[in-house]
């Protein structure tokens, strides 16, 4: 059965994609197939091969063979060269990758091309530059030469979600490869197409067989098998809290592999009445919750506005939300928001909206599916008159839904902002530098943006507090989770 297929996007763009499992530098059949759906129409795009335990074993064996067959001791400069070559190919085929993301995920093509592709390139090139900079330390000890070396773990597993799968694929691959590990990454069964295209570029870049393996499959089969595999020394997962717990359990019950988890959030965004540019604060807040249809783990879904400017902020926010163009990622010029990524996610978000109404919150704007469409489109939605005990204030909705509350002073808003089991991100808008620093220090979150929101860079660590997970992705700190530190002590003077 041929695995290569030509896909044509609604814009008439043609992309050649191999729908097999990428194992040992070859595209191979899986245990079965999975249909991937265009969320703008609800229609099938194509079918891709799906892995189960047998295929996971093949991928891990290929990765282990590559690791001990030379990649473990590979020249750091050669790793850097290959990673930069891969970045060059991503840049060359940026149009293909962005078209596939818009088709498969529903995000606007312009967003994927202008935001996601640069993030991928910067991540690959950042870690390519770190390959020859993984230094240990010489430690002064009496009568001994003591020093440390940073060694690769071996086979590293990665499991990526469907919302920004193309970006997070590189977040798992780049630091692992930089440190001399080999990888097996499971892409989401909901949005696998860009990962398949990326796989072909891995082979074209010249990576040895088995160094990078990319498979697709259901979490309960392929993901579970990868998390429990005795030959996998580290697993990195981005996704839901419930699945994160299952992965921790699988790691503990198997070989106590290292684990990095990024499990979402319920991020507060705080607007003080001394904010210098209220219109700018509104713009950042709009994009901080409605980008990619609200399907962003660090989306600012709880906005707290100081009471003196609450009414003005709410009026401006509603006007901008109402003018936001929700439509087809390809056909509508200036589209800012596409559909939810799947029918399941669409229904989940609509259930949360109904829950907010039932619990007494005011649906100030939106709250409905977008009329006149066949896909999974939801209007940008605003809730007011919310209380901390409401479901929409406690749980991650992962959709274009925001709750806007007012607050009195610093103590009041810090208490409200930290009143969550999550701790992924937060935003603060104020012209008072002392206040900005004080609030940033008080907020229980892994990232705090001041007078901006949703700005992500490759050279800064990203991760959560509390039930948003542990470990970091991005920046130099990330590399600690992809190496083992060995202490070596040599007797040079003891009798």
Token pair for 139: 């430690």
Token pair for 25: 């530098």
Close Cβ partners of 489 (under 8 Å, ≥ 6 residues apart): 141, 144, 145, 146
CA pair distance 126, 476, nearest whole angstrom: 10
Cβ(403)–Cβ(392) under 8 Å? yes
Residue 113 Cα distances to 101, 200, 349, angstroms: 9, 19, 26
End-to-end CA distance of the chain, in Å?
71
Q: Are strands 26-28 and 268-271 parallel, antiparallel or unpaired?
A: unpaired
CA pair distance 8, 458, nearest whole angstrom: 32
- Chain-centroid distance, C-alpha 477: 17
The position carrying tokens 């290959």 is: 82
Close Cβ partners of 126 (under 8 Å, ≥ 6 residues apart): 174, 458, 459
Token pair for 102: 């818009």
Give catalytic status of residue 262 as yes or no. yes
Residue 409 Cα distances to 100, 351, 445, angstroms: 46, 33, 20
393 SS3 class: helix
Cβ(210)–Cβ(66) under 8 Å? yes
User: E-assigned strands of 314-412?
Assistant: 362-365, 381-384, 401-407
Burial 190-214 (b: 16+ CB within 10 A, else e): bbbbbbbbbbbbbeebebbbbbbbb
Token pair for 428: 């603060």
Find the catalytic residue in 189, 224, 262, 336: 262
CA pair distance 110, 169, nearest whole angstrom: 20
User: E-assigned strands of 160-231?
Assistant: 182-187, 212-216
Cβ(157)–Cβ(260) under 8 Å? no
Longest dimension (CA), the chain: 86
Cβ(236)–Cβ(156) under 8 Å? yes
The position carrying tokens 């087809």 is: 328
Active-site residue numbers?
Answer: 262
């Amino acid at each position: 059965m041929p695995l290569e297929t030509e896909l044509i996007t609604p814009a008439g763009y043609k992309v050649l994609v191999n729908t097999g499992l990428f194992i040992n530098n070859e595209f191979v059949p899986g245990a079965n197939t999975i249909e991937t759906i265009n969320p703008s129409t609800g229609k099938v795009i194509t079918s891709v091969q799906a892995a189960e335990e047998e295929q996971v074993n093949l991928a891990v064996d290929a990765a282990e063979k590559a690791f001990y067959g030379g990649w473990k001791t590979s020249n750091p400069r050669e790793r850097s060269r290959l990673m930069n070559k891969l970045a060059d190919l991503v840049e060359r085929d940026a149009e293909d990758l962005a078209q596939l993301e818009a088709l498969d995920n529903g995000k606007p093509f312009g967003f994927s091309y202008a935001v996601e592709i640069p993030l991928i390139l910067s991540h690959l090139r950042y870690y390519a530059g770190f390959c020859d900079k993984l230094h240990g330390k010489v430690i002064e000890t009496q009568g001994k030469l003591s020093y440390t070396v940073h060694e690769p773990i071996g086979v590293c597993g990665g499991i990526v979600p469907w919302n920004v799968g193309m970006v997070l694929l590189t977040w798992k691959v780049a630091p692992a490869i930089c440190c001399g590990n080999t990888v097996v990454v499971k892409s989401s069964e909901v949005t696998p197409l860009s990962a398949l295209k990326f796989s072909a570029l891995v082979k074209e870049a010249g990576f040895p067989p088995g160094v990078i393996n990319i498979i697709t499959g259901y979490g309960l089969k392929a993901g579970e098998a990868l998390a429990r595999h005795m030959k996998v020394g580290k697993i990195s997962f981005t996704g839901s809290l419930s699945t994160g717990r299952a992965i921790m359990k699988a790691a503990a019950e198997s070989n106590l592999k290292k684990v990095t988890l990024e499990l979402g959030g319920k991020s507060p965004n705080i607007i003080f009445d001394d904010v210098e540019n209220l219109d700018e604060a509104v713009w950042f807040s709009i994009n901080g919750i409605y980008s990619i249809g609200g399907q962003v783990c660090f989306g600012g879904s709880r906005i707290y506005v100081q009471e003196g400017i609450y009414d003005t902020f709410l009026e401006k926010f509603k006007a901008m939300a109402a003018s936001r163009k929700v439509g087809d990622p390809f056909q509508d010029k200036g589209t800012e928001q596409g559909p939810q990524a799947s029918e399941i996610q669409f229904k989940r978000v609509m259930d949360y909206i109904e829950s907010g109404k039932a619990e007494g919150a005011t649906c100030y704007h939106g709250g409905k599916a977008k009329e006149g469409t066949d896909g999974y489109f939801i209007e940008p939605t605003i809730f007011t008159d919310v209380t901390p005990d409401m479901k929409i204030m406690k749980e991650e909705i992962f959709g274009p839904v925001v709750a806007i509350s007012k607050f009195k002073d610093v103590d009041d808003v810090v208490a409200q902002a930290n009143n969550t089991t999550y701790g992924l991100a937060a935003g603060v808008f104020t012209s008072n530098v002392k206040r900005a620093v004080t609030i940033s220090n008080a907020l229980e979150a892994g990232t705090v943006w001041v007078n901006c929101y949703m700005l992500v860079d490759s050279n800064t660590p990203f991760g959560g507090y509390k039930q948003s997970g542990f470990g970091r992705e991005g920046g130099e700190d990330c590399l600690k989770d992809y190496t083992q530190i060995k202490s070596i002590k040599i007797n040079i003077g003891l009798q």
